[in-house]
Structure 1
């Protein structure tokens, strides 16, 4: 396996662990999601943690860093971005958790 494939596999593994456990980064929601009823927000976060329908359309780079889902007649997006430890720029190596802060953002489709 090439070093690029190893890096992508490691990023995917780290993203999946973060998405499933919410540990290893920061989960955030947009203002529109925050304004939804608590039961809708809870159901949306559960969908984030359980998502596992990856395909070429939603995961072209095989990193498991973006997807959408439907809930309560709304379309949600979840996106994972990679920041450096100072949170003032992008991570130079998202496959290295010691150099990367993952930020997962849950938003509504019209906010993207």
Structure 2
């Protein structure tokens, strides 16, 4: 289990990636890419501004998952932590020097 300080660092790094696309990779699934342009932009805007974190969807306080609906379309987003080679999990998600963050935005049906 991470210390409280580590969790706060992870949360900040996750929020930076989600809000500004900084210090990580953003992946958008084919289903989301296939949405009409206006709806796709709405999805991206909601991901960037998402703040509906609860103990149910954010039990560790890392801001690493969210779900919402836009125009009747259910969307999930998830942040995963990989090592620098992206071949294994990160040894320390609170350390950006050893972690590659990946934000995936997907339709709920693609999960």
For Structure 1 versus Structure 2, the TM-score category normalised by the shorter chain is over 0.9
After TM superposition, where is structure 1 displaced by more than 2 Å over at least 4 residues in a row?
A: none
2:3 aligned counterpart, secondary structure = helix
1:84 aligns to 2:83 (yes or no): yes
Q: Structure 1 CA distance, aligned partners of 2:22 and 2:37? A: 21
**Aligned residue pairs, count:** 110
Cα RMSD for the two superposed structures:
1.0
Which consecutive residues of structure 2, in runs of 5 or more, have no partner in the other structure? none
Q: Determine the structure 1 residue equivalent to 2:74.
A: 75
Q: Structure 1 CA distance, aligned partners of 2:84 and 2:24? A: 10
For residues 24-70 of structure 1, give each alpha carbon's deviation from its aligned partner in whole angstroms, at most 9, with x where no partner exists.
10111111111111111111111010011111111011100001011
> Structure 1 or 2: larger helix share?
1
Q: Determine the structure 2 residue equivalent to 1:56.
A: 55
Q: Structure 2 CA distance, aligned partners of 1:15 and 1:61? A: 13
Q: What's the TM-score once normalised by structure 1's chain length?
A: 0.94
Q: Structure 2 CA distance, aligned partners of 1:52 and 1:105? A: 17
1:22 aligns to 2:21 (yes or no): yes
Which consecutive residues of structure 1, in runs of 5 or more, have no partner in the other structure? none
1:98 aligned counterpart, secondary structure = coil
